[in-house]
Amino acid sequence: MTAPTSLEEYRVELRDWLSSDPAALRDLRGWAELEHERYVALGQELSAITWERGFKRFGWPVEVGGLGGGPRYRAVYYDELCAAGLFVPEGDFSGEVLGPAVIRYAPALAAEYGAAMLSGRELWGQGFSEPEAGSDLAALRTRATPTEGGYLVNGQKVWTSNGHLADRLFTLVRTGPADSRHRGISVLFIDADSPGVLRRPLEFASGAHEMCETFFDDVTVPTARRIGAENEGWAIAMFLLQFERAMYSAQRQAWLLARLRELAAQLRRTGQSGDPAAADVLGRAWLAVSLLRTKSAQTVARLDAGETVGPAASADKVLLAAAEQGVLDAARELLGAGFDALDENASWRAQWWYSRASSIYGGSAEIQRTILADRVLGLPPEQARAARIGAPS
C-alpha cells in the first residue's frame, strides 16, 4: 500500500492480505508458548514486515515515515492482526503511548528515531514510576541537574515495561526544586546503553521478565534529547496518558476478543460448548469485552478528530481491567482442573497471572474512579467516595 485509502478499504485490504497467509508471517504464529524475550523479538519482526508492506505506515504522519491517516487506522491494524491469529507487538504498546508525544513535543527527535521504533528496529521504554512515586508521578525524585550542554541524571525507576530490552528510555526527571511537584518535571530521551544506566529485570508471578528497575548514576544526557521545554514534563505526561488509556485499551480489546474466540473453540473441542453454565460464563466475558470495545472505539474516534480526551479516558482503563480479568477468569473457570495442570494451558495460566495486575498498573481502578467522579461527573464528596470504592451511592 502506498497511498491513504478509506478506513474500510484499508481494513478489507489488510484483512485479505492477512488471510492469504503470507509466507513471511507463518513463523510468527504460535507466539503464546514463547518466552517473553523471544515474543518481543517476534513482534519486532512482525512490525518490520507490515511496515515494509505499507500497512503499518497508515495512521502515522509522513514526518516519521508514515502514510497519513489517524489513530483509527492504527486501531483497525491491531484489530485485524489479532483476528488473523497474530498479536499486537510489544513495541506498539509503548509506541502508542510515547510516539504521539515525541511527534508533538520533539519533532526533530521524532524525525530521527520515530521510523526506527515503528518499524521494529528499535524498542522504546517508559521511565515513569519510581519506588515511592507510582501512581503519584508528581512525587518522583529522579533528578536531572543542568550541566554545560545537557543534564546529569541520578535516580531510580521501577516497573518499566520492557525497559531491560529497550534501546531508548522516555524518562520523567525532576529539574525543579525538590518540592516543585508537577511544576518541576521534564522529559529526557535517554539512550539505554548510556554509561551509568543499569537495568535489572523483574520476574512476574508467571515467570516472565517483562519489566525492570532502572538505575541512573551520573548519566549524561544532551539538551537536544529533552522532549519539550524544561519543566514542561507534567503537561507532556498528561497529553500522552490519554493515548495510554485509549489506544492501549483498543489494542488489548482486540487481543481479548481473539482470546475469547480461542477459548470458545477450545470448549467446542472438549464438548463443553453446549453447557448452559459455560455459555453464561462466556457471555459475561463477551459482554465485558464488548463494553470495552465500544468505549475504546469512541475514544479513539475523539483522538482521531484531534480532541483532547483528558480525564474521561479513565473510563477506558476501568473497563479494560474488568474485561481483562473477566476473560481470564472465564478461562480459569471453564478449563477446570486442566487450567492448572495441562501444558496446553500454560499460556492461559501466564495470562491469568498477568491479568491480576490490570486493575493496578497504569493507575489503579480506585484512582481511575476518583478521577471520573471528581473531574468528569463532578460528584459531591460522599458520592465520589462511593464511586471510588464501588459501593452504591
Each residue of 281-339: pLDDT tens digit?
999 999 999 999 999 999 999 999 999 998 899 999 999 999 999 999 999 999 988 88
Give the chain's count of helices (H) and strands (E): 12, 8
Residue 393 has what pLDDT?
A: 36
Cell of 299: 475514544
CA gap 80, 345 in Å, rounded = 24
- Identity of residue 100: P
Percent of the chain at pLDDT > 70 equals 95
Say if residue 115's pLDDT is above 80. Answer: yes
- The pLDDT of residue 7 is 95
User: Residue 369 and residue 82: Cα distance in Å, rounded?
Assistant: 29
Output the pLDDT for position 30: 74
Is 2.60.120.200 the CATH number for 238-388? no
Q: In whole angstroms, what is the distance from residue 195 CA to residue 128 CA?
A: 20
Q: Is 7-122 assigned to CATH 1.20.120?
A: no
CB-based burial label for 378 (10 Å; 0-12, 13-18, 19+)? exposed
Residue among 186, 134, 191 at smallest CA distance from 160 = 134
Is residue 231 classed exposed, middle or buried when 0-12, 13-18 and 19+ CB atoms within 10 A define those classes? middle
244 is catalytic: yes
pLDDT computed for residue 145 by the predictor: 98
Condensed to tens digits (0 to 9), the pLDDT of residues 48-98 reads 999 999 999 999 999 999 999 999 999 999 999 999 999 999 999 999 999
Give the pTM: 0.92
Query: Residues 196-232: pLDDT tens digits?
Result: 999 999 987 777 788 999 999 999 999 999 999 999 9
Q: Which of 244, 333, 344, 382 is catalytic?
A: 244
Per-domain residue ranges for the chain? 7-122, 125-231, 238-388
Q: 1.10.150.530, 2.10.70.10, 2.40.110.10, 3.40.50.720: which CATH number matches 125-231?
A: 2.40.110.10
Q: Is the pLDDT of residue 392 over 60?
A: no
Question: What was the pLDDT predicted at 2?
Answer: 62
